[in-house]
Structures are given as structure tokens and as C-alpha cells.
């Protein structure tokens, strides 16, 4: 018997990775805003250097994005089976969003590697 995906799951599969990216972006911005002066000095946050924090943050968010991308993929497969009573468009869209946004979060490693913090 196929299980109809819950409505919340459909929404989550669609919106999670864009939101994760946004959260990651804002956090990364706030870390540099709080720890770097315009002159390039680094005061760090909670004792850790901001570069370490940024690497860690990006790593965690890449993992989370990949997880939710996979979730969207699974949901879209599930929804496809139950179509047409349920629309599989949203999780399908969520899956493509997931690929794109995971990639974008991953990209944040490039400036970190080239420029270093501050």
C-alpha cells in the first residue's frame, strides 16, 4: 500500500533548502560583521576564530541541505506513485531547489579558502 505523503512533508521538501541557505548566509554574514573590523582585524567570537566558525557552519549546512535534498527526492518518488490524487510537483521542485541550494552553500568554501577570514 502506498502512503500519501503528509502535507507538511510536501511543504518541507519544497522550502527547506532555500531557507537553510538563507539562514546559512545570514549567520555567516553576522559572524563576519561581529568579528571583523573593516581594517581586517579579527576579534573572533566565543574564543573561536571566525574562520573556524565559518568552515564549521558551512560544513554543517551543506550536510543539512544534502539531507533535505534527499528527503525531497524521496518524497517526490512517493508522491509520484500516489498521483494524480496528490500533486508531485512541489517535492519535484523542492528536489531541484535542493540541488541548486546545496551547491550554493557549498560555494561558500571558495572565498573562505582564498581570502581567509577578515
Partner 1 sequence: MATIMMRVRQIAGIALYLGLANAQEASWRSPVNVLSRKGLVADQISTIWWFLFSTASLVFLVVITLLLIALFKKGQAVPKGPVQENSSVRPILYLGTGLTIIVLLITAVYTFISMRTLAAPSQKPALTFEIVGKQWWWDVRYEGESISANELHIPSGEPVHFSLHSDNVIHSFWLPDLAGKRDLIPGHPNSLWLQADEPGTYRGSCAEFCGVQHGKMNFTVIAEPRAAFETWLEHARAEANAAVSEEARVGQAIFMQQGCAGCHSIRGTAAQGEIGPELTHLSSRLTLAAANIPNTTGHLAAWIVDSQSIKPGNRMPSQKLSGEDLQFLLSYLMELN
Partner 2 sequence: MSLPYGSSNDDTFIETWKSAAGPFAWLRAVNNSPIGKRFLVTGFAFFLIGGIQALFMRLQLAKPENNLMSPELYNQLMSMHGSTMLFLFVVPILEGLATLLAPSMLGTRDLPFPRLTAFAYWAYLFGGVLMYSSFLLGVAPNGGWFAYVPLTGPEFSPGINMDFWLLGLELAEASGIISAFELIIAVLAMRAPGMTLGRIPVFLWAMLVASSMILFAFMTVLIASLYLELDRKLGTAFFSPELGGSTLLWQHLFWFFGHPEVYIQFLPAAGIVSMIIPVFCRQPLVSYTAVVLALVSTGVMSFGLWAHHMFTTGMPDITASFFSTMSIVVAIPTGLQFFVWIATIWRGKVIWKTPMLFVMGFMVNFLIGGLTGVMLGVAPFDWQVHDSYFVVAHFHYVLIGGVVFPLIAGFYYWMPKITGKLMGERLGRWNFWLMFVGFNVAFFPMHLAGFRGMPRRVYTYIEGIGLANYNLISTLGAFIFATGILVFVLNFLASLRQPNTDPNPWGAYSLEWATSSPPPPYAFLTLPIVKGRYPLWEQEQLDKGDEETVDMVKTLASWPLSWQAGVVTDVFTGRLREVFWLANPSYMPITLATGLAISLGAMIFDSYWLSALGLVIALIAYLVWMNPRQRPTENDKTIEEKFKRFGVAVYRYSSPTIARWSLFLTMGIALTTLGTFLFTYFFLSTNTPVWPPESAKLGGWTAAVLAQLFTVSGLVIVAWTQRYSMAGGRTKLIRHFAIASVLDFVAGGLQIWAYSQLSFSWTSHAYGSIFYLLAAFQLFMLITALVMASIALFRLNFNHDPAEQERVQVTVENARRSNYVMLACWLAIFFTLYLSPHLM
Residues near partner 2 (CB under 8 A) are 7, 10, 18-19, 21-22, 25, 28-30, 32-34, 36-38, 40, 54, 85-90, 92-93, 96-97, 100-101, 104, 107-108, 110-112, 114-118
Q: Work out whether 83 is an interface residue with partner 1 (CB under 8 A).
A: no
Phi first, then psi, for residue 48 (nearest 5°) are -90, 150
User: CB of residue 7 vs partner 1: minimum separation in angstroms?
Assistant: 27
Q: Work out whether 115 is an interface residue with partner 1 (CB under 8 A).
A: yes
Among 3, 47, 84, 114, binds partner 1 (CB under 8 A): 114
Q: What is the largest CA-CA distance in the chain?
A: 63
The number of angstroms, rounded, from the C-alpha of 106 to the middle of its chain's C-alpha atoms is 9
- Say how many C-beta atoms besides its own lie within 10 A of residue 77's C-beta: 14
Which of residues 32 and 64 has its CB atom nearest to partner 2 in the complex? 32
**Angle 89-107/7-35 helices, nearest 10 degrees?**
20
Q: Work out whether 84 is an interface residue with partner 1 (CB under 8 A).
A: no
Q: Work out whether 107 is an interface residue with partner 1 (CB under 8 A).
A: yes
Element holding 59 (H helix, E strand): helix 50-82
Q: Which three cell numbers stand for residue 18?
A: 532555500
Amino acid at each position: 500500500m502506498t502512503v500519501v505523503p503528509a502535507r507538511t512533508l510536501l511543504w518541507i521538501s519544497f522550502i527547506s533548502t532555500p531557507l537553510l541557505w538563507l539562514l546559512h548566509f545570514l549567520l555567516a554574514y553576522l559572524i563576519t560583521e561581529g568579528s571583523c573590523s573593516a581594517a581586517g582585524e579579527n576579534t573572533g567570537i566565543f574564543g573561536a576564530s571566525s574562520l573556524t566558525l565559518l568552515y564549521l557552519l558551512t560544513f554543517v549546512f551543506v550536510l543539512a541541505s544534502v539531507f533535505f535534498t534527499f528527503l525531497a527526492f524521496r518524497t517526490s518518488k512517493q508522491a509520484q506513485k500516489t498521483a494524480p490524487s496528490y500533486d508531485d510537483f512541489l517535492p519535484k521542485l523542492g528536489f531541484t531547489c535542493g540541488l541548486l541550494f546545496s551547491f550554493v552553500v557549498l560555494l561558500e568554501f571558495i572565498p573562505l579558502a582564498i581570502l581567509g577570514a577578515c
